[in-house]
Amino acid sequence: MLRDEKSIALKPSLQRFALSFVCAVPAAGAALSSVNLSGVMRGVENAESSGLLPVATGIANSNLPVLIALYLGIFGGVLAILLSAVRSSKIALSPPARFLFGSALSLFAVLVLWRAKSMLIMALPSSREGVVAGASTIKLWLTLSQIGGVISIVVLLVGSIFRMASGPKQKWSPVAALLLVVIVFLFAAIAFQIRNSWLRDLYLQL
């Protein structure tokens, strides 16, 4: 009996780590994209990139890590939904608050990256000879995204060690929370994908 209880207690621990990892992936992607975008900024300031098209291409390419990470998060989330729905009667699922907090923490780095990228795109047409309007603010947002991404990863993975108390009658609420997380990740991925396409189409016409 004790052995069965111990084995059941181990399963939620692995589940918590897997779900925290799924939430942490977009934060890691946002941090990497911020590093790439910082490289684009340095190229513009050092006048290494001549013309708007190469810079726009660099901005679009810097989106790849966060896009891949968001799609991985979506895939992992869908897989978690299916497993949770099938095994909800056999194991104790983590409370919805864990999924919602984890996704919000991860999306912080993604949203800060989006803000920095928006400012850089708006500043490009008026930039001259390596001078980018609001460069210090853009760099601050990029640094914040990188730091926020790293902190989010550490908090999520370390936090997976601790178990949150589950309330009664929570059979389907964790699944619903996971579904909400997947939908948010999907909208974020679509937004970055649309911006990439818009950037390429816009500057190809110049």
pLDDT in tens, 131-177: 567 788 989 999 999 999 999 899 888 877 776 655 555 566 777 88
Task: Phi first, then psi: give them for residue 128, nearest 5 degrees.
Answer: -135, 130
Domain count, the chain: 1
- Determine, yes or no, domain membership for 16: yes
Using a cut of 0.85, tell me whether the model's pTM lies above it: no
- Determine, yes or no, domain membership for 170: yes
Measured CA to CA, the distance from residue 184 to residue 17 in angstroms comes to 20
Domain that holds residue 64: 11-204
pLDDT in tens, 169-198: 556 677 788 888 889 999 999 999 998 888
What CA–CA distances, in Å, run from 159 to 16, 94, 104? 9, 12, 14
- Determine, yes or no, domain membership for 5: no
- Determine, yes or no, domain membership for 127: yes
- Determine, yes or no, domain membership for 31: yes
